[in-house]
Amino acid sequence: MSRSTPAPPVSGAWQDYRNRRRLLLCTALAGAAVFALCIFVARARHSVGPFYWGLAVLVGGIAWGTIPLADFPCPKCGEPFSQKGWIRNLATRTCLHCRHPKWSDPG
């Protein structure tokens, strides 16, 4: 049996980043659930209207969760961590402005 080591403490800024990621996940999952329900209703009523309403809720939920994550300020420079001009990269491992690595202390 292997022992797992406890995770290092996360600074306040990175805890905020985790909360924003959780918001994106929750809104995407909620949108997917509504979309699945709307597909069921659309098939039962032989109508495409509920399908488009569900699709709108899904896309809106993803957009609503993505915007706060994209606007997360870098703990070191204060600029948006994953956005520089028109470029947005939510999967970046370093700040697009100051190259500060993700999850490291701003010290």
pLDDT in tens, 55-75: 999 999 999 999 999 999 999
Question: Considering the chain, what percentage of its residues have pLDDT values greater than 90?
Answer: 68
Task: Classify residue 100: in a domain, yes or no.
Answer: no
Q: With respect to residue 94, please indicate whether it lies within any of the assigned structural domains.
A: no
State which residues form the domain around 76.
Answer: 12-88
Report the domain count for the chain. 1
In a domain, 79, yes or no: yes
Given the structure tokens 């290092």, which residue do they identify?
8
Is 66 contained in some domain?
A: yes
Q: Name the percent of the chain lying above pLDDT 70.
A: 89
Given this model, what pLDDT does residue 7 score?
A: 53
Q: How many CA atoms lie within 13 A of 26 on its CB side?
A: 7
Residue 28 lies in a domain: yes
Q: Which pLDDT does position 73 carry in this prediction?
A: 93
| Measured CA distances, 56 to 21, 26, 47, 66 (Å) | 21, 16, 16, 15
Report pTM: 0.78
CA angle 77, 81, 85 (to 5 degrees): 100
Q: How far is it, in rounded angstroms, from Cα 78 to Cα 105? A: 13
Residues 37-59 have pLDDT tens digits of 999 999 999 989 999 999 999 99
* The dihedral sign for the CA sequence 85, 88, 90, 93: negative
Q: What does the chain come to in residues?
A: 107
d(CA 81, CA 35): 31
Would the pLDDT of 1 be above 60? no
